[in-house]
Amino acid sequence: MLILKISILVIMLIGQVCTLAPALRGTLIILVAAGIYASILGFYIFPLGILLVLFILVLIAEIGGKWLRIYLTRDSKVSREYSVSTTVCNVAGIVVADAFLGALVGITLWELAVGKALLPRIDDISKVLNSLLLVAALRFLCGIIMIIIICKYMIYKG
Q: How far is CA 152 from the centre of its chain?
A: 23
pTM of the predicted protein model: 0.79
What is the C-alpha separation between 12 and 148, in angstroms, rounded? 10
Give residue-wise pLDDT tens across range 7-30. Answer: 999 999 999 999 988 888 899 999
Q: What is the DSSP letter of 79?
A: -
Whole-number average pLDDT of the chain? 87
Give residue-wise pLDDT tens across range 46-56. Answer: 788 888 999 99
Q: CB of 66 within 8 A of CB of 74?
A: no
Give residue-wise pLDDT tens across range 42-94. Answer: 777 778 888 899 999 999 999 999 999 899 888 888 888 888 888 888 888 88
pLDDT at position 155: 80
- The full set of domain ranges for the chain reads 2-156
Q: What percent of the chain has a predicted confidence (pLDDT) above 90?
A: 36
CA distances (Å), 120 to each of 8, 70, 101, 114, in order? 47, 24, 26, 12
Give the 3-state DSSP-derived string for 85-154, with helices as H, strands as E and coil as C. Answer: HHHHHHHHHHHHHHHHHCHHHHHHHHHHHHHHHHHHHHHHHHHHHHHHHHHHHHHHHHHHHHHHHHHHHH
Q: CB of 16 within 8 A of CB of 143?
A: yes
pLDDT at position 158: 60
What is the C-alpha separation between 105 and 41, in angstroms, rounded? 60
